Amino acid sequence: MWNSGEDDDDDFQIPPSSQLSIRKPLQPTNANSNNISHRRPNKKPRLSRYPGKENVTPPPSPPPESSSDPSDEYGTDLLCSSSTLDCSSLDCIPSSVDCSIGDFTGPICSLGDKVDNNDCFKANREGYLCNSMEARLSKSRIRLGIDSGIHEDDDESDSEFDVLLKLCSESEGNIGGECSLVKDDSIQCPLCSMDISALSEEQRQVHTNKCLDNSDNQAPEQLQDSLRKCEKSYSLIEESIDDPVQLPQLVTDLSPVLKWLRSLGLAKYEDVFIREEIDWDTLHSLTEEDLLSIGITSLGPRKKIVNALSGLREAFVSSSEAQAQSNCTSAHVTARQRDKTTSRKASEPKKTTANKLITEFFPGQATDGTKIRKAPKDPVAEKSPPDSSSRRAVRRNGNNGKSKVIPHWNCILGTPFLVDAFKYLTRNCGHWFLTHFHLDHYQGLTKSFNHGKIYCSLVTAKLVNMKIGIPWERLQVLELGQKVNIAGVDVTCFDANHCPGSIMILFEPANGKAVLHTGDFRYSEEMANWLIGSHISSLILDTTYCNPQYDFPKQEAVIQFVVEAIQAEAFNPKTLFLIGSYTIGKERLFLEVARVLREKIYINPSKLKLFECLGFSKEDMQWFTVKEEESHIHVVPLWTLASFKRLKHVANRYTNRYSLIVAFSPTGWTSGKTKKKSPGRRFQLGTIIRYEVPYSEHSSFTELKEFVQKVSPEVIIPSVNNDGPDSAAAMVSLLVT
DNA sequence: GCGATCAGAT
DNA sequence: CACATCTGATCGC
């Protein structure tokens, strides 16, 4: 089972001294009690968790944008776009005002709708998993060189070709696909079966090469059989290849593979594929590991191939299914053979075009899990060339790609409201709620939005106005803790403790069935207090970490870990500390670091401007500087810390000033799966140290459970399905046990 | 040409 | 693994 999480602070650990060149071990206690402003004080109303949130007075308009560099040295986008912040017309809803808007045309989503939960979730979140190469590949890990199909009918475990391929993959260092046959302790030439055990590696190569040279006419039956099999396998492909590639004499026809490689713009790896004799069938079973082992060491090309391969496999599966449903009954063709044939037809490259989207090679494979493929039967579309992309299919539906099924978690039952659903813009809704300003929640929202009003917190409204250019007339600010009536529905929002401006929203429609939408949230004890007296019928819950394996420390413990790690290393003035952050999010981490260490923290000018807009207090703002030289603690985008390669890039820029880099990646995933709960994991490459610290702005499983028990809803609707809707449902059920 | 959108990558 | 984001390709105005 999972840890209760109540002992978070007790099991806090400092970084091992051996890892941090600490001069003196630090105590995990409140040794710095005079500085521990990050410790949560006695319970008190916490509406101002993020500064400025409680301040509903519109800030003065900033001066017009001056010309500015589009990014800082860490690659951060300039936050303030050409649209200037103008809060002068900011429209806060007084709690007593009825905000009904006339364009409501009725409920948009109700339980009665024929919307399958699974489809909703697939359409929205599962794409991540769908696109996860590792997840897909792990299901079909097959050893390099052993084709899963060709020998399906063979009773012998080691058919000739099988052995041949196996040996080719085993004979490391053999250039050109030379083979040696290993059975028991003796080594035979695969071509003439002569025992060549006594020969040196070099001599064996010479021998087999000789045999190869003669193989056209003199190859032993063993090899000839193999060759015949291969030729048979590829005969279908050959028909469509207009420019067969000249291949080495040995074994299979690799031309489809080479064609395919070229179509990916990876012709430079032809040699590798030829050398490894990777044929079309073997290709399907390659894993990323295999690619690495055969010498494709560059990440980009490797990923590209892995991606394309998963497309191939999908094509294989779908065509197999299609074939199974057809009336094709060939007495002498096995089902497996049919599948293989179909798969080749479906997935073989037809055109050689560099830089085409992978989807263009595999038509009909919608990758986003939506119902797009069930588009109306359009004979033209059906006859469209195989390289038409799935995206084009989206556009063909004539609704600008927005006619997707709206997931349940975006709909508020009994109301005409949608939450975080800008991907599904529809005229049927005039009331759009935005829980917080993170891309995956406001995706689809553009400055041309004209579908009604957007309801959100003041901070979010400012960001939406500043970053997207939504005019203030379209924005309605919701004050924390104040009930307002919108279109006949009582609406109250609360601090979601996720990122600045994040809110959870309580909807109380006239039917008495209250819905609480948490948005993304990190549980805090006072949340339950806010909801006292409200009977929650449906709880739309942020289930990002809804799995017992995710149990991470309180933010305070992680902050202290970071603080102490920095303290331990700070004696070296040539150390640069990097802390990762998003556009918004993780602010508390580095603000507390600054407060506790009483050191300014460098942020880029655009982030400073953002913080000013968010309404950070003067007291808070004093801890930030935009002058690099004033601080050796820098806030950088999280993805800058994602790889040592990027960190190395940073290091190179500061060669003269810093000799050591210590980076902190705050992410909740640090404590997932097999990882035990700990305040940080440490990685080091030379003079670069990277900590993954479990600083999460989502609730842990323990916290979710506590929250659900206190809210005690009748129904829970998960908003995130990391492992698919079924799994999400199963995990949610754990919350109430 | 540019904004919107999407898939894929990090 | 992918919290949230960036990048490049494509489409439509």
d(CA A235, CA A672): 48
Confidence of residue A45 (pLDDT cuts 50, 70, 90): very low
- Residue A104 CA and nucleotide C13 C1' are separated, in Å, by 29
Report the nucleotide nearest the CA of residue A586, measured to C1': C3
pLDDT for the residue numbered A670: 63
Average pLDDT over residues A334-343: 31
Check: CB of residue A208 under 8 Å from CB of residue A190.
yes
Whole-angstrom Cα distance, residue A611 to residue A595? 16
Tens of pLDDT, residues A441-475: 998 898 888 889 999 999 999 989 888 888 899 99
Q: Does residue A607 sit in helix, strand or coil? A: helix
In percent, the amount of chain A with pLDDT more than 90 equals 22
The pLDDT of residue A226: 38
Average pLDDT in chain A = 62
Quick check: A257 CB within 7 A of strand B? no
A128 touches strand C (CB under 7 A): yes
In angstroms, the CA A127 to CA A119 distance is: 12
Whether the pLDDT of residue A480 is over 60: the answer is: yes
Confidence of residue A303 (pLDDT cuts 50, 70, 90): low
pLDDT at A542 over 60: yes
Letter for the amino acid at A643? S
Strand B interface, A 633-672, C-beta < 7 A = 639, 642-643, 646
How far is A182 from A171, CA to CA, in rounded Å?
Answer: 10
Helix (H, G, I), strand (E, B) or coil at A138: helix
Cβ of A724 less than 7 A from strand C: no
- Beta carbon of A396 within 7 Å of strand B? no
Residue closest to sugar C1' of B10 by CA: A639
CA of A399 to C1' of C13 (A): 15
Closest nt by CA–C1' to A520: C3
Tell whether the model's pLDDT for residue A27 goes beyond 60. no
- The 10s digit of each residue's pLDDT in A60-99 is 333 333 333 334 556 443 333 333 333 333 333 333 333 3
Question: How far is the C-alpha of A558 from the C-alpha of A568, rounded, in Å?
Answer: 15
Cβ partners under 8 Å of residue A24, min gap 6: none
Token readout for A209 is: 């090469």
Nucleic strand C near CB of residue A395 (< 7 Å): yes
Give the distance, in angstroms, between residue A391 CA and nucleotide B5 C1': 9
A412: nearest Cα among A543, A538, A263:
A538
Q: Centre a 10 Å sphere on the Cβ of residue A622 and count the other Cβ atoms it contains.
A: 12
- CA nearest to nucleotide C9 C1': residue: A357
pLDDT in tens, A562-572: 999 999 888 89
pLDDT score of A313:
61
Name the helix (H) or strand (E) containing A48.
none
The DSSP H or E segment spanning A625 is strand A624-625
Q: Which nucleotide is nearest to A365 (CA to C1')?
A: B7
Nearest nt to the CA of A445 via C1' is B4
The more confidently predicted of residues A608 and A405 is A608
Closest CA to A687 of A723, A651, A726: A651
Average pLDDT on A533-543 reads 92
Structure token pair of residue A373: 């493929």
A218 CB below 7 A from strand C atoms: no
The answer to whether some atom of strand C lies closer than 7 Å to the beta carbon of A706 is: no
Q: Which residue is nearest to nucleotide C2 (CA to C1')?
A: A128
Q: How far apart are CA A631 and CA A637, in angstroms?
A: 17
* Residue A288: pLDDT band with limits 50, 70, 90: low
* pLDDT over 50 at A651, yes or no: yes
Nucleotides in chain C near protein beta carbons (<7 Å): 1-7, 9-12
- Average pLDDT, integer, range A395-408: 51
A366 Cβ contacts chain B strand, under 7 Å: yes
Nucleotides of strand B within 7 Å of the protein's CB atoms: 3-10
Q: What is the per-residue pLDDT for A162?
A: 37
Residue A600 has pLDDT above 80, yes or no: yes
Å between A400 CA and C12 C1'?
Answer: 10
Q: Which of A133-137, A159-163, A214-218, A643-647 has the lowest mean pLDDT?
A: A133-137
- Residue A311's pLDDT is 63
User: Which residue has 């800030």 as its token pair?
Assistant: A59
Burial zone of A687 (CB within 10 Å; 0-12 exposed, 13-18 middle, 19+ buried): middle
Strand nucleotide closest to residue A76 (CA to C1'): C6
- Looking at residues A493-521, what average pLDDT do you find? 95
Please spell the DSSP secondary structure of A476-499, one letter per residue.
EEPPBT--EEETTEEEEEEE-SSS
Q: Are A351 and A323 in contact (CB under 8 A)?
A: no
pLDDT value at residue A662: 93
**Is strand B in 7 Å reach of the CB of A131?**
yes
CB of A694 nearer than 7 A to strand C: no
**Diameter of chain A measured on Cα atoms:** 95
CA distance A593 to A563: 6
Is the distance from CB of A169 to CB of A267 less than 8 angstroms?
Answer: no
Beta A660-666 vs A489-495: how paired, if at all? unpaired
Q: Is the minimum distance from the CB of A127 to strand C below 7 Å?
A: no
Confidence of residue A578 (pLDDT cuts 50, 70, 90): very high
Q: CA-to-C1' distance for A715 and B10, Å?
A: 36
Q: At residue A671, what is the residue type?
A: S
DSSP secondary structure of A289-316: HHHHHTT---HHHHHHHHHHHHHHHHHH
Whole-number pLDDT of residue A482: 96
Q: Does residue A146 approach strand B to less than 7 Å at its CB?
A: no
Residue at shortest CA–C1' distance from C1: A669
Q: Which amino acid is at A507?
A: F
pLDDT of A345 reads 34
Q: Is the CB of A392 under 7 A from strand B?
A: no
Mean pLDDT over A290-297 rounds to 67
Which has the higher per-residue pLDDT, A364 or A474?
Answer: A474
What is the pLDDT, as a whole number, of residue A523?
95
Task: Output A338 or A677, whichever has higher pLDDT.
Answer: A677
Inform me whether the pLDDT recorded for A371 exceeds 60: no
Q: Percentage of chain A with pLDDT > 70?
A: 48
* Mean pLDDT score, A28-44: 31
User: A372: which nucleotide lies closest, measuring CA to C1'?
Assistant: B6
Which range is least confidently modeled, A269-273, A287-291, A555-559?
A287-291
Task: Say if CB A478 and CB A455 are below 8 A apart.
Answer: yes
Distance A360 CA to B3 C1' (A): 24
d(CA A547, CA A105): 39
Predicted pLDDT at A349: 35
For A605, residues 6+ apart whose C-beta sits below 8 A from its C-beta are A68, A72, A626
Distance in Å, residue A350 CA to nucleotide B1 C1': 33
Given this model, what pLDDT does residue A377 score?
A: 29
A391 is near strand B: CB distance < 7 Å: yes
Give the tokens for residue A237: 């492909």
From the CA of A354 to the C1' of C1: give the distance in Å.
Answer: 31
pLDDT digits (tens, 9 = 90+) for A11-23: 333 333 333 332 2
A446 CB less than 7 Å from any atom of strand B: yes
Q: Is-contact A507 A491, C-beta < 8 A? A: yes
Instruction: Please tell me whether any atom of strand B lies within 7 Å of the Cβ of A358.
Output: yes
Q: Which residue is nearest to nucleotide B8 (CA to C1')?
A: A131
User: Has residue A264 got a pLDDT over 60?
Assistant: yes
Nearest to A124 by CA among A358, A443, A399: A443
User: Pick the residue with more confidence: A305 or A496?
Assistant: A496
| Cβ A642 to strand C below 7 Å | yes
pLDDT mean over A629-638: 92
pLDDT in tens, A182-200: 334 556 655 566 777 777 6
Query: What's the rounded Cα separation, in Å, for the pair A566 and A664?
Result: 10
pLDDT digits (tens, 9 = 90+) for A138-175: 332 222 222 333 233 333 333 333 332 333 333 333 32
Instruction: Give A593 CA → C7 C1' in Å.
Output: 32
Q: Is the pLDDT of residue A521 over 90?
A: yes
**Mean of the pLDDT values across residues A380-389?**
30
Average confidence (pLDDT) over A191-210? 65
Say if residue A41 is exposed, middle or buried (CB neighbours under 10 Å; 0-12, 13-18, 19+): exposed
On the CB side of A575, CA atoms within 13 Å amount to 17
Determine which of A283-292, A338-347, A433-442, A671-680 has the lowest per-residue pLDDT on average: A338-347
Nearest C-alpha neighbor of A177 from the set A222, A141, A208, A147: A208
From residue A282, how far is each of A141, A145, A219, A291 by CA, in Å?
Answer: 12, 6, 23, 12
Provide residues 22-81 of A with CB closer than 7 Å to any strand C atom: 75-77
Q: How far apart are CA A308 and CA A300, in angstroms?
A: 12
